[in-house]
């Protein structure tokens, strides 16, 4: 692989999602909802909404195992 080709393949990677305190995520496997409680450097603390579960994960792991929940707005 040429240097130019390697650089192009790296630039095509998807950008990391933006994560902020208060964001809601849903576990891809179980469907359980979590809220971002705290962010320290690249470590994210997720806390379950309805059970006493808490996870401390890196931002890359959050992107692999969780989907960001959309804010639902109602239009009348």
Q: What is the residue range of 41's domain? A: 20-68
Per DSSP, the three-state class of 28 is coil
Write the CA distances from 24 to 45, 61, 75, 76, integer angstroms: 12, 15, 21, 24
Domain presence at residue 42:
yes
pTM: 0.67
Tell me, yes or no, whether 31 lies in a domain: yes
Number of domains in the chain: 1
Q: Spell out a b/e string for 33-66, using b for 16 or more CB atoms within 10 Å of the CB, else e.
A: bbebeeeeeeebbbeeeeeeeebebeeeebbeeb
12 within some domain: no
- The answer to whether residue 53 sits within a structural domain is yes
User: Domain of 42: which CATH number?
Assistant: 2.30.30
Q: Which of 4-8, 19-23, 47-51 has the lowest mean pLDDT?
A: 4-8
Residue 37 forms part of a structural domain = yes
| Residue 74 belongs to some domain of the structure | no
Q: Is residue 2 in some structural domain? A: no
Choose between 29 and 4: higher pLDDT. Answer: 29
Q: What is the pLDDT of residues 28-69, one digit of tens each?
A: 999 999 999 999 988 999 999 888 889 899 988 998 999 998
């Amino acid at each position: 692989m040429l240097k130019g080709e390697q650089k192009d393949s790296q630039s095509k990677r998807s950008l990391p999602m933006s994560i902020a305190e208060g964001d809601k995520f849903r576990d891809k496997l179980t469907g359980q909802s979590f809220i971002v409680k705290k962010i320290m450097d690249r470590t994210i603390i997720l806390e379950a909404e309805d059970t006493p579960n808490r996870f401390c994960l890196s931002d890359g792991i959050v992107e692999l195992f969780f989907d960001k929940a959309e804010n639902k707005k109602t239009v009348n």
